[in-house]
Structure 1
Amino acid sequence: MISLNILFIYVLVISNITGNATWARIGVTVAGGKGSGNATNQLHLPSGLVVDDDQTMVIADTWNHRIIQWKKDDTNGQVVAGGKGLGNRMDQLNYPSDVLIDKVTNSFLICDQNNRR
């Protein structure tokens, strides 16, 4: 029942957007934006991301086989997992697709897609 109420509200809000609506362009690049690559200010097919309560962004940088983190106002990210090429060692990832932060254990939960772990 709750999900139906949420769906109804969602549809109601969407139905109020007119066909000629315009959107303000106020986007800000907070990670990457320097073209595709493997430098710490670049991403290559990022897929999953999570933003912590202190505005730290953690991204599954899929084709770079790494998890990279940007703290608020950083211009370069910091590799926090993988980044040692494609592989199945404990310091390597194989197309990571998503990441979560576990605040209780102070760790990352990584979906390491092609390593199936």
Structure 2
Amino acid sequence: FQLGNSMNGTTVAGGNGQGSASNQLDTPYGVYVLNKTGALYIADYNNHRVQQWNLGATYGKTLAGVTANSGTSLMLLNNPSNTFLNHNETYLYVNDMSNNRVLRFTMT
């Protein structure tokens, strides 16, 4: 494939400076795009969370982790680096890098 005539990208998540507000990201790593809706599932590395950004949204919703709080309990993440949904989109898998584990969350 080839990019169109314009070499300019379009911001689809974040873009409001580095931070932990719902409209900000801090070192986004892995991104998974939901086929049905185009929603993005973003591993927000330094905020220790996974955020969902719907197509055209100006803010994200935290799905996993607690913003800016890392830890080893099953409700906390420590530098998530990638996300993936299974083919039925019933489970969200998160590579919880600094905890040396992969977590599975049930999507509701």
TM-score, shorter chain, exceeding 0.5: yes
In which range does the TM-score fall when normalised by the shorter chain? 0.7 to 0.9
Structure 1 residue 51 corresponds to structure 2 residue 30: no
Q: Which residue pairs with 1:101 in the alignment? A: 85
Alpha-carbon deviation of 1:91?
Answer: 1.1
Please give the residue correspondences for 1:60-75 in structure 2 after superposition, counting only pairs within 5 Å. 60-75=43-58
Q: Which has the higher contact order (CA 8 A, sep 6+)?
A: 2
Which of the residues 87, 92, 96 maps onto 2:71? 87
- Post-superposition Cα deviations, 1:1-57, rounded to whole Å, max 9, x if no partner, equal xxxxxxxxx9xx9xxxxxxxxx62442111000000000100000110010111000
Gaps of at least 5 residues in structure 2 are 102-108
Q: Which residue pairs with 1:29 in the alignment? A: 11
| Greater strand content | 2
Alpha-carbon deviation of 1:105?
Answer: 5.7
In our comparison, the structure showing a higher alpha carbon Rg is 1
Which of the residues 18, 23, 48 maps onto 1:41? 23
| Greater helix content | 1
Alpha-carbon deviation of 1:90?
Answer: 1.2
Give RMSD over aligned pairs: 1.8
C-alpha separation between the residues in 2 aligned to 1:59 and 1:80?
10
Percent identical among aligned pairs is 36
C-alpha separation between the residues in 1 aligned to 2:55 and 2:87?
18
C-alpha separation between the residues in 2 aligned to 1:96 and 1:116?
10
| TM-score (ref. length: structure 2) | 0.82
Gaps of at least 5 residues in structure 1 are 1-9, 14-22
- Post-superposition Cα deviations, 1:76-96, rounded to whole Å, max 9, x if no partner, equal 100000025110111100001
Secondary structure at the residue paired with 2:85? Answer: strand
